[in-house]
Structure 1
Amino acid sequence: MSTEDFTRQLGELMDREAIRECMFRYCRGIDRQDEEALRSAYWPDATDRHGPYQGSATGFIDWAVKKLAADGERSVHSISNMSITLAGAQAAVETYFMALQRDRDPEGVSREVFLAGRYVDRFEKRDNEWRIAARTVVYDWLRHMGTPEGTEAERFGIRMPVGSLKRSDDPVYALLASLGS
């Protein structure tokens, strides 16, 4: 393999890893209501078609953070099966996701929803950084699971620590702070 081929392949691997890290930041941001992480996953001029929301990514983040703060109780997003097609400073990225969400209905009753689908994203590399430029969320599976049965303590006994929707209360941020991140 020539030095030129090796350098090109190494650059492509680094680009793919930067895209994966951006997707992981998005998941942490949405699950922990970490507005900074969410904003860092999108370019300021990005668009998002996300369920009932369609418009700017900035508007989506504003809408989601407000909605989660008002109604959200728990959220876990897991991503897999990521296909990345690089095309210069752009990439077509399809990422499968599964999400479990617990929120409250308008009457304040807890409800749970299982979602599975795909993030269909156009990423752009600007100033050597990859972020989402345009997102369409494709919902392949949606199941309303109703109200949760019992409390977590009844199902599992007291387990600590419990993940938090709030950045300030979740253990991963204490770990990051201890590393100076």
Structure 2
Amino acid sequence: MARRVSEIAEEMADREAIRDTLMRYCRGTDRCDETLLRSAYWPDSHDDHLEFSGDIEQFIAYSKPILQAMRYSMHMLANCLICIAGDQADVESYFQGYHSIPDEQGHRRDAFAAGRYLDTFEKRNDEWRILKRFVMVDWFRELPDSADWQAGPFGMGDKVKRGDLQPDDFSYHLLSRLR
């Protein structure tokens, strides 16, 4: 349903706060930053995430070893539809996730997934966070690892800064205000 410009204008700060929460979630997941990840959810939240279903503390306990084993992970968001009604908002965010996953022998495979986060946000004390999340996967691909991690991207070896987990990721030294 089309919305009037004046309606959206009144909600701009709330919409941006919701987007900020989504970005904290992605960064917290990709950098394996528990504090940042926790800041995206209310303590009484519930997440139905692939095979997992539980609260944020259970989700962190479930996902942390998986994320640490991956080490290389990237989540990107697009198409974010936000419908605010008072202190609650229904939000659909399209995601793409890229992961380097090790097997028992230490060989890696590339896994790509895309889908949608279907979230209920709640605003408490002038702060938006996720109250309920349901993750829906629309497509995925898995391939043998095609990268030569020793040679590095484009054969440039260790001359290229690579992403890493918190606190070793270079962004934690560069972007001090994100802490």
> What TM-score do you get using the length of structure 2 for normalisation?
0.89
Contact 2:47/2:55 (<8 A) preserved: yes
2:147 and 2:35 map into 1 onto residues whose CA distance is: 34
Contact 1:46/1:56 (<8 A) preserved: yes
Unaligned runs of 5+ in 2: none
How far 1:11 sits from its partner (Å)?
A: 4.5
**Amino acid in the other structure paired with 1:98:** Q
Structure 2 residue 91 is matched with structure 1 residue 93: yes
Structure 1 moving runs of 4+ over 6 Å: none
- Counterpart in the other structure of 1:31: 30
How far 1:152 sits from its partner (Å)?
A: 6.0
- Counterpart in the other structure of 2:17: 18
- Counterpart in the other structure of 2:163: 163
- Counterpart in the other structure of 1:117: 115
- Counterpart in the other structure of 1:143: 141
2:120 and 2:166 map into 1 onto residues whose CA distance is: 28
Deviations 1:96-152 (A, max 9, x none): 001110021233221110000000000000011000000000000111112234336
Deviations 1:10-38 (A, max 9, x none): 55100000000000000000000011110
Structure 2 residue 44 is matched with structure 1 residue 51: no
How far 1:169 sits from its partner (Å)?
A: 1.2
Deviations 1:54-106 (A, max 9, x none): 1112211121112222x213001110000000010000000000111002123
Deviates further, 24-33 or 56-65 = 56-65
Structure 2 residue 69 is matched with structure 1 residue 66: no
How far 1:171 sits from its partner (Å)?
A: 1.8
Unaligned runs of 5+ in 1: none
Give the secondary structure class of the aligned counterpart of 2:115: strand
> What TM-score do you get using the length of structure 1 for normalisation?
0.88
Contact 1:46/1:58 (<8 A) preserved: no
2:152 and 2:43 map into 1 onto residues whose CA distance is: 44
Q: 1:160 to 1:61 in 2, by over 3 A?
A: same
- Counterpart in the other structure of 2:74: 76
**Amino acid in the other structure paired with 2:73:** S
Contact 1:75/1:100 (<8 A) preserved: yes
Give the secondary structure class of the aligned counterpart of 1:28: helix
1:42 and 1:67 map into 2 onto residues whose CA distance is: 19
Contact 1:50/1:137 (<8 A) preserved: yes
Contact 2:30/2:67 (<8 A) preserved: no
1:126 and 1:13 map into 2 onto residues whose CA distance is: 17
CA RMSD of aligned residues (A): 2.0
2:160 and 2:168 map into 1 onto residues whose CA distance is: 12
Deviations 1:145-178 (A, max 9, x none): 12234336265122421111x211112211222x
